């Protein structure tokens, strides 16, 4: 696993700078070739030339062996801001610059309802980044820094350099370190970064990471030659999950946030035939699932027991298409409404495994809200009843009929797994009554009609932008746990998790292609069992 941060931290004590004529310290990021012809991507630490201060250092991304294909800039691809080795935090400018450039290069969410102009991009504060560096050891900070560097190098090598440089980046740098990207979800430094910079910068950062992973997944499927760029025996192939999540507790809420590039999610079902439109497959791969799972909880202290209650407050899911140049992208205009949609949501919450302080779990009820609706109609009936003055038989009567129509709906269920409460929401097709996440087409037919034009109309399940929000009024049944009174005053660990299925059915294009993918997240949150202080008057 790449550990650039440890190498950087050792630089102030490096003996390579004792001799003014010695070569600068070099960290080889990626390389390939033979002894006679080697191509490599290097990170160099070079003292500022011509400076009277001997401790000024710049970091340079240097390309070796690519001279014959580079015209404008023969060797140097990127130069960092100046770092002062004699300062208290010598490498703060480097970390801040990498983060700021990563956030600034975030792709556009094409379905964003409140787009932020590039001129209004958030500027990261140095004291925030400084606090993250101070509060974590170099070992803990290393995986976070590697993720930031890999993402910044993606733009430099895959977008701002010749094709050969991008090929080397995917084959020899990103593919071997994909585990670093995925394992960064356990990085406390990354969680601290999200907690301090706010949700706007968090979204931009994760959309940049998602765009990079989407390109990596596309390369594995484009063709035989390009498949060689990304080895198939990587960590992600065995785990089928490139998702990231983290959980927090604050102000009576447990919140789990999750991100997953669609192409990196596990495929559970799909069409046996290849997609008829290569462009459609390309568009679908540039999508990312962004989820917020939020529970509201309360704690009551009674004689002999502690009562903990929880209810679903918000389930917010959005499938974001990541890309650039929306207004000039002809493919986006033609296939703009083709995207995945949430088809099943399974969330759970409960005490840690093996907890012996729970006396019992009480569930609510399973419900089927919005499954049917009543339509009342009035009709006029004419018939003969006597003869009028105009010698014309006439009678007028009113009848009332009641008709029930089945609508596309979410079916809610509650269940238990040990002491964990499980909430399951399943999307059903109103035309057939089948569950969308497990749907399979009938032989020789196109059964997608029930979900065509699904983002328009008054009875649509999803928002105009393709999102989904299920709030407490959709499903407000509480669950409760009775805990031993002996746990009063402690802070327990509580589990929160979710599994989300997203499906694709053609919306406007004529295609028989369909698929369903899923991703699973799980984390721990705090449950403080500290009674409120008695008020004094």
The pLDDT of 187-215, averaged and rounded, is 91
Contact 292, 387 (CB under 8 A): no
Reported as a single tens digit per residue, the pLDDT across 396-412 is: 555 565 555 545 578 88
Strand pairing class (287-302; 305-323): antiparallel
Whether residue 309 contacts residue 363, with contact meaning beta carbons closer than 8 Å, is answered with: no
Is the CA virtual torsion 33, 158, 210, 339 positive or negative?
negative
| DSSP SS3 for 511 | coil
- Torsion, Cα 450 259 41 87, to 10 degrees, reads 160
Which tokens is 462 given?
Answer: 């999803």
Question: Which residue carries 């946030």 as its tokens?
Answer: 257
pLDDT in tens, 110-151: 555 455 555 456 689 999 999 999 998 888 899 899 999 999
Q: Residue 461 carries which DSSP code?
A: S
Q: Where residue 223 falls among pLDDT bands split at 50, 70, 90?
A: low
- pLDDT tens readout for residues 143-173: 899 999 999 999 999 888 888 898 899 988 9
Cα torsion 138, 144, 150, 154: sign? negative
Sign of the dihedral through C-alpha 446, 450, 456, 462:
negative
Indicate whether 379 pLDDT > 70: no
Q: Is the pLDDT of residue 446 over 60?
A: no
Q: What are the backbone dihedrals phi and psi of residue 153, each rounded to the nearest 5 degrees, phi first? A: -65, -25
Q: Which residues have C-beta within 8 Å of that of residue 229, sequence separation ≥ 6?
A: 167, 170, 171, 175, 219
> Average pLDDT over the chain, rounded to whole?
80
14-46 pLDDT, tens digit each: 665 655 556 788 899 998 876 667 888 999 998
Task: List phi, psi (to 5°) of 2.
Answer: -65, 130
Q: What is the 3-state secondary structure (H, E, C) of 430-459?
A: CCCCCEHHHCCCCCCCCCHHHHCCCCCCCC
Q: What's the CA angle centered on 58, arms 87 and 209, to 5 degrees?
A: 100
Neighbours of 204 (CB within 10 A): 21
Please give the pLDDT value at position 400: 60
Delimit the domains of the chain by residue range.
Answer: 1-239, 247-370+408-531, 372-404
**Which is more confident, 240 or 455?**
455
C-alpha 143/C-alpha 129 separation (Å) is 15
* Burial (0-12, 13-18, 19+ Cβ within 10 Å), 439: buried
pTM of the model: 0.84
* Res. 109: pLDDT tops 70: no
**Percent of residues, the chain, with pLDDT higher than 70:** 73
Give CA–CA dist 208/107, Å, rounded. 6
**pLDDT (tens digit, 9 = 90+) per residue, 458-469?**
777 787 777 888
| pLDDT of amino acid 224 | 43
- For residue 63, give both structure tokens: 């390309």
Residue 23, Ramachandran bin (φ over 0: left; ψ between -120 and 50: alpha; else beta): beta
Q: Tell me: pLDDT of 526 over 50.
A: yes
SS3 labels along 345-389: EEEEEEECCCCCCEEEEECCCCECCCCEEEEEEEEEEECCCCCCC
């Amino acid at each position: 696993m790449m550990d650039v941060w440890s190498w950087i931290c050792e630089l102030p004590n490096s003996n390579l700078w004792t001799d003014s004529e010695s070569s600068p310290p070099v960290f080889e990021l990626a390389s390939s070739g033979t002894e006679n012809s080697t191509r490599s991507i290097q990170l160099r630490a070079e003292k500022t030339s011509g400076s009277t201060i001997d401790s000024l250092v710049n970091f340079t991304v240097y390309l070796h062996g690519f001279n014959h294909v580079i015209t404008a800039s023969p060797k140097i691809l990127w130069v960092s801001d100046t770092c002062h080795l004699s300062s208290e935090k010598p490498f703060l400018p480097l970390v801040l610059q990498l983060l700021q450039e990563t956030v600034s290069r975030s792709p556009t969410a094409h379905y964003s309802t409140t787009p932020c102009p590039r001129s209004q991009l958030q500027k990261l504060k140095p004291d925030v980044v400084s606090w993250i560096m101070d509060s974590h050891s170099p070992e803990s900070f290393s995986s976070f820094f590697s993720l930031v560097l890999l993402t910044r190098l993606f733009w430099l090598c895959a977008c701002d350099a010749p094709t050969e440089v991008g090929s080397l980046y995917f084959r020899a740098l990103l593919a071997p370190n994909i585990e670093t990207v995925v394992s960064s979800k356990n990085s406390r430094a990354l969680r601290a970064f999200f907690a301090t910079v706010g949700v706007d910068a968090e979204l931009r950062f994760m959309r940049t990471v998602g765009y990079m992973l989407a390109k990596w997944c596309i390369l594995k499927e484009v063709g035989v030659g390009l498949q060689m760029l990304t080895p198939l025996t990587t960590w992600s192939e065995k785990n089928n999950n490139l998702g990231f999540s983290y959980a927090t507790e604050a102000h009576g809420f447990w919140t789990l946030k999750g991100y997953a590039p669609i192409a990196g999610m596990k495929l559970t079902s799909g069409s046996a035939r290849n997609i008829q439109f290569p462009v459609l497959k390309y568009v679908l791969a540039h999508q990312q699932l962004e989820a917020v799972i939020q529970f509201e909880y309360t704690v009551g202290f009674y004689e002999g027991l502690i009562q903990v209650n929880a209810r679903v407050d918000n389930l917010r899911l959005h499938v974001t298409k990541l890309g650039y140049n929306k207004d000039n992208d002809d493919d986006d205009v033609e296939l703009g409404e083709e995207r995945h949609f949430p088809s099943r949501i399974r969330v759970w919450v409960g005490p840690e495994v093996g907890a012996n302080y729970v006396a019992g779990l009480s569930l609510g009820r399973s419900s089927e809200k919005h499954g049917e609706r009543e339509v009342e109609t009035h009709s006029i009936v004419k018939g003969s009843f006597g003869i009028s003055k105009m010698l014309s038989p006439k009678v007028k009567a009113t009848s009332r009929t009641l008709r029930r129509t089945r609508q596309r709906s979410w079916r809610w269920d509650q269940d238990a797994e040990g002491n964990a409460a499980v909430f399951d929401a399943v999307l059903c097709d109103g035309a057939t009554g089948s569950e969308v996440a497990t749907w399979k087409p009938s032989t020789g037919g196109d059964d997608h009609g029930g979900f065509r034009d699904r983002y328009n109309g008054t009875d649509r399940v999803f928002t105009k932008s393709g999102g989904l929000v299920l709030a407490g009024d959709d499903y407000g049944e509480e669950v409760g746990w009775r805990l031993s009174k002996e746990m009063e005053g402690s802070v327990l660990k509580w589990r929160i998790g979710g599994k989300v299925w997203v499906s694709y059915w053609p919306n406007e294009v004529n295609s028989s292609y369909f698929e369903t993918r899923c991703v699973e997240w799980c984390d721990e949150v705090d449950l403080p069992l500290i009674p409120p202080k008695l008020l004094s008057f």
